[in-house]
Amino acid sequence: MASHRRPKQTSRARVTVLTATAAAAVALSAQAAQAAPAKQSVKSVKAKVDALYEQTEQATEKLNGAKAKQEQLQKQVEVIQDEVARQQGELNDLQDDLGALASAQYRSGGIDPTLQLFLSADPESYLDKASTIEALSTQQAEGLRQIAEKKRSLDQQKAEAASKLSELDRTRTELSRNKKAVQGKLAETQKLLNSLTAAQRAAVAAADVRGVGGEHVNLGNDTPASGRAAAALAAAQTRINMPYVFSHTGPTSFDCSGLTMWAYAQADVKLPRMSQDQANAGTRLTMSQLKPGDLVIFYGDQHHVGLYAGNGMVLHAPHSGAFVRYESINNMPFQFGVRV
């Protein structure tokens, strides 16, 4: 006899599991489609990476400025504090001298001068003592005047020290904020690169190698404008292929202005720390006036600097993840050159 049992129904729990699994699969597919960088061209990703590197360097230059200001303020505070200590010592000496004068005057002139003359058996001796007392009084008055002047000067120095310490504290806060900004931009750049496939990362890296190291570079036959420019360029050339590290000034890693500052230091020339300040460190030049060893300033806010190497090539520290290298001067927005 045929069975008349109803077909077995799928349990509610099983339906729930299947539905949830299907929903998760759809969600994962949608998420994967959304996260997949394949739809982004290497060119567009490279443009985003370049923009982040530029923002990182802008933040780095602000960091460099805050560090330079901190160092300058620290030195100023130390000088002022030393001066305060010196003047305090001088004030203490003046006060001690005045106390000694007061004691001597009291011992010699504690009795009314008229009564002293009346009681004196030797008027001439008294008159000699009286002139000494008058001299002591004059000296005491001069001591009081010096103490008052020294106190005024000391108060001014203390006020200046307090002001510099307050400014130093604000600069340290700015330094911390700028450092976080640099680290944030670097993390953002790395996150973007990590979202790419290995093939895409390789393509972006290949697209970034616009410059070359120290071999097979035609720098032409132009000569530097000065011995210090020649020495600076020669020093920088020994740093080729060394890494860019934000806020570093050598000798084995650099940011852009750190490299130029270090290179010129080897020629006994002290450049400012920031590229914006280096832009004002000498005579400005057009592109056609550039000679090897001249500084080259890039971007409208002057946040990048390199050394002109000759034949349209610049030697510079490009950005995080890159190395000191030669690169065409036309790869970045040229502003002007600077002859130091």
Catalytically active residues are: 256, 304, 316
**Position 119: which residue type?**
L
Report d(CA 311, CA 43) in Å as an integer: 28
- The residue length of the chain stands at 340
The helix, strand and coil proportions of the chain, stated in percent and rounded to the nearest 5, come to: 65, 10, 25
For residue 295, the surrounding DSSP H or E stretch is strand 295-298
Is residue 45 within 8 Å of 192, Cβ to Cβ? yes
**Position 51: which residue type?**
A
Report d(CA 20, CA 248) in Å as an integer: 53
Instruction: Please state, in angstroms and as integers, the Cα–Cα distance from residue 232 to each residue in 191, 228, 271, following that order.
Output: 37, 6, 11
Tokens coding 302: 């002057």
For residue 306, the surrounding DSSP H or E stretch is strand 304-310
CA angle 269/218/278 to nearest 5° reads 25
Quick one: how far is CA 215 from the chain centroid? Answer: 33
Instruction: Please state, in angstroms and as integers, the Cα–Cα distance from residue 3 to each residue in 6, 52, 202, 275, following that order.
Output: 9, 73, 67, 91
